[in-house]
Amino acid sequence: MYTLIYYRYFNKVGSDVEFNSKEWWKIPEEYDGNGEAEAKIESEIATNTRYGIVIDSGSSQSRLMVFSWEDIPQVIKKSKPGDKLDRFPELRFGVDGINNSGSYKISPGISTFASADTNLEEHLGPMLEFASNVIPKGKHRQTPLFLFATAGVRLLEQKSQGVLMEKACKYFKENSKFYIADCQQHFRVISGEEEGVYAWVTVNYLKGALASSLKAEKPQSEISKIQEKQENPEKYNEQDSDSGDEYKFDMDNKTFGVLDMGGASTQIVFRPNTNVSDHGLAHMSWLTFRQLNGNDFTYPLFGTTFLGYGSNEAYRKHTLRLLERAKMTSKDVGFVEDPCLPVGFSVNDEKDPAKFNGGGSLEKCVKLSTEIINRDSECKSNFCIFDGLYFPISNFRDMQFFGISDYWYASNDILKLGEQWDMRLFVEKAKEFCALSWEMQKEKYLNPSIVTEDKLRTQCFKAAWLISILSKGYGMQPGDFSTDDMMTSLTHDPLKHATLYVANDIGMKEVSWTIGVMLMKLLESIPPSPRSLSRGSKPKLVLPSSITSSLQNTTLQTAGAVYLGEHTLIAKSTSSTRSYPFNIHISPYYILVFGASVIIVLLLASKLDRTTYTKIRKYVNSVLRVPRKYLPFYRAQPQINLPLPLFNKTN
């Protein structure tokens, strides 16, 4: 009695990061016709094992990661009767889960080879040799390879980025049989936001939070809310998007947020659990996952990158500010005191004859590093965290975050504080370390394989920077723990009550955003369920329209219901021009079916008494399982003029 209009989930507005490769998972093993070779392959690894390669090309090094997993059709085939397969495939690190077969690092970063007179083969060759040796030769043709470049390459001119990625792709295509369907999809420079989202996928996949959060949903309560809005549209009048309308997301949030502190930038990614304004939707990412049973689920995520707020960039700004202040009092600056350096340590500025002498004071270092955080930039949204960037006001009282990269290194390589973040203990240990002389620091902590002199030299600043960014930036921890007034109390502390963990590995698996990339690729190989197939959904990441290079508005004109991931949604019927992360595709077939349905409904409704009509309407609404948390563009439909019993209350 009703028709559901489906749409292909993402479009021109958001940046669609789906992998458009062919069905690489159907490529068979390759044998050379030699019986011995075939026997060797069979003995090395089971036939139903698959492999994938992701190369993380950062600013200081490139790291090749090898992943393996059991062939999806085999997993499904071997499942026992009654197994709902409502889980994700197991992704292993390395060949047969052996860690030393899964990673290869090489320095310097790939951006060093951007100029025409450098030999890129010196950088890529050793990684290719490693992967070719650890992955069975017969599996090469069916093994996809991806190279995603980050911080260092982002600083290059766009043309240089393209040339570098093209050269890298050409090298792998000419010198290996690894699967590369399209250079533009397999060799890319990814944004900080995309990198952050993949890190979020990694943490929540390793913690098992993706599956547990899906099982924890309570769709019936959400259905009742939508039914109430349908039955009482006069209480929910449509308003302009600038009026402060908000969209409610899942309050029962079982996932972990992620904080990533890199060298050039820092990221924060989390799943909203409170209302997000109409304006805020332009800043949301959308992740569609697929479980082994073929059902798709979509997660809304907020993630942002603060460029120039990575630990290395922050330290560069810090030294520049010290030098500029010194030059304000004297043109000939000989020495500049840097409280973030250890006492007894001196270093010359790279571009200036001035010399920086260590002062060894955490309190002064925190005060100076806090000044780097720009909270005075114009905020064009309801709320900005700092640097004028939008941040959704959320309830983090019971939310948990994982800090990775320098959050882990700065608290554990030297201070040995463990996974549970305790700000007071961190400050206490950091203060003791900063007060040590350079000679004492080297005597107690220097270890060439883990703690180098460069790491010792920057440890005090990195500790101060984490204190500043967490307190002054995110407001995650109390800012009044020091009698020396190290922090300024904030009027709004969005993350004050959140719990923070720091980690380098979870469950013996290293936390790397490359796991998120490989998992999203692997999910493509899962056959869609009839429900997912009918809705046209598939595993993909859609980045927010707010960070795409060209924003386009999409006009939404529809009546009835639309699909988002695994849930049915009620869409607004009136035409409006807004930036939404989706695009509706309606075939002539569905238009005809919908028109016929309208006529049938009208004929039936005219012959029903009110009691029978009410029972039918309640039954139809009860089968529309519509969790409102997945409806970022939900509105009641008071302006629909179609006399449809399903959507309008009649007198």
Backbone φ and ψ of 353, nearest 5°: -70, -10
Range 5-20 average pLDDT: 37
Give the annotated binding-site residues: 263-267
Give the distance from CA 559 to its chain's centroid.
33
Backbone torsions φ then ψ of 646, nearest 5 degrees: -65, -35
Rounded percentage of the chain residues whose pLDDT exceeds 90: 36
Taking residues 256-266, report their average pLDDT. 90
Most confident of 236-240, 252-256, 616-620: 252-256
Can you give the length of the chain in residues? 651
Position 22 confidence tier, pLDDT thresholds 50, 70, 90: low
| Amino acid at the residue 592 | L
Q: Which two tokens stand for residue 408?
A: 């882990």
Residue entry with tokens 């386009």: 552
What average pLDDT does range 30-41 have in this prediction?
51
Question: Which residues, 6+ apart, have CB-to-CB distance to 389 below 8 Å?
Answer: 304, 306
How many Cα atoms sit within 13 Å of 220 on the Cβ side? 0
Residues 609-636: what's their mean pLDDT? 50
pLDDT of residue 200: 96
pLDDT tens for 496-513 read 667 899 999 998 888 999
The active-site residue, picked from 193, 194, 195, 524, is 195
Least confident of 91-95, 215-219, 587-591, 609-613: 215-219
Note the pLDDT of residue 640: 31
pLDDT single digits (tens) 399-435: 889 999 999 999 999 999 989 888 889 999 999 999 9
CATH number of 21-181: 3.30.420.40
Query: Is the pLDDT reported for residue 340 higher than 50?
Result: yes
What mean pLDDT is reported for the chain?
Answer: 74
Burial class (CB in 10 A: 0-12, 13-18, 19+), 563: buried
Answer yes or no: is pLDDT of 515 > 90: yes
21-181 and 322-372+400-497 have identical folds: yes
Parallel, antiparallel, or unpaired: how do β-strands 346-348 and 400-405 relate? unpaired
Q: Is 102 helix (H, G, I), strand (E, B) or coil?
A: coil
Q: Residue 615 pLDDT more than 80?
A: no
298 contact partners, CB below 8 Å, separation of at least 6: 9, 286, 287, 288, 289, 537, 564, 565, 566, 567, 630
- Ranked by mean pLDDT, which of 42-46, 437-441, 498-502 comes out on top? 437-441
- Per-residue pLDDT, averaged over 344-367, amounts to 88
Which of 512, 523, 513 is CA-nearest to residue 19? Answer: 523
pLDDT above 60 (res 201): yes
Neighbours of 380 (CB within 10 A): 10
What's the confidence (pLDDT) of residue 124? Answer: 96
Quick check: 99 pLDDT over 70? no
Q: Answer with the residue of higher pLDDT: 127 or 374.
A: 127
| pLDDT score, position 343 | 95
- Going by pLDDT thresholds of 50, 70 and 90, the confidence category of residue 472 is confident
Cβ contacts of 499 within 8 Å, gap of 6 or more: 399, 400, 401, 421
Question: 472, 488 in Cβ contact below 8 A?
Answer: yes
Q: Which residues pair with 174 in a beta bridge?
A: none
Residue stretches of the annotated binding site for ATP? 263-267
pLDDT of residue 118: 84
- pLDDT of amino acid 230: 35
DSSP line for 599-642: HHHHHHHHTS-HHHHHHHHHHHHHH----GGG-TT----TT--S
Q: Does domain 322-372+400-497 have CATH number 3.30.420.150?
A: yes
Domain residue ranges in the chain:
21-181, 322-372+400-497
Burial of 588 (0-12, 13-18, 19+ CB in 10 A): exposed
Strands 265-270 and 296-307: antiparallel
347 torsion bin: left (phi>0), alpha (psi -120 to 50), beta (else): beta
Higher pLDDT, 142 or 599: 142
pLDDT tens sequence across 277-313 = 556 677 788 888 999 999 998 888 888 888 888 999 9
* Rounded average pLDDT over 600-628: 60
Nearest to 522 by CA among 193, 189, 307, 205: 205
Contact at 8 Å (CB) between 571 and 15?
Answer: no
Q: Establish whether 195 is a catalytic residue.
A: yes
Residue 395: which pLDDT band, with cuts at 50, 70 and 90?
low
pLDDT tens digits, residue range 314-333? Answer: 999 999 999 988 888 877 77
Please state the φ and ψ torsions of residue 645, each to the nearest 5 degrees.
Answer: -60, -30
- Look at residue 370 and give its three-state secondary structure: helix
Per-residue model confidence as pLDDT tens digits over 136-183: 999 999 999 999 998 788 888 899 999 999 999 999 999 999 999 989
Half-sphere exposure of 538 (CA within 13 A, CB side): 14
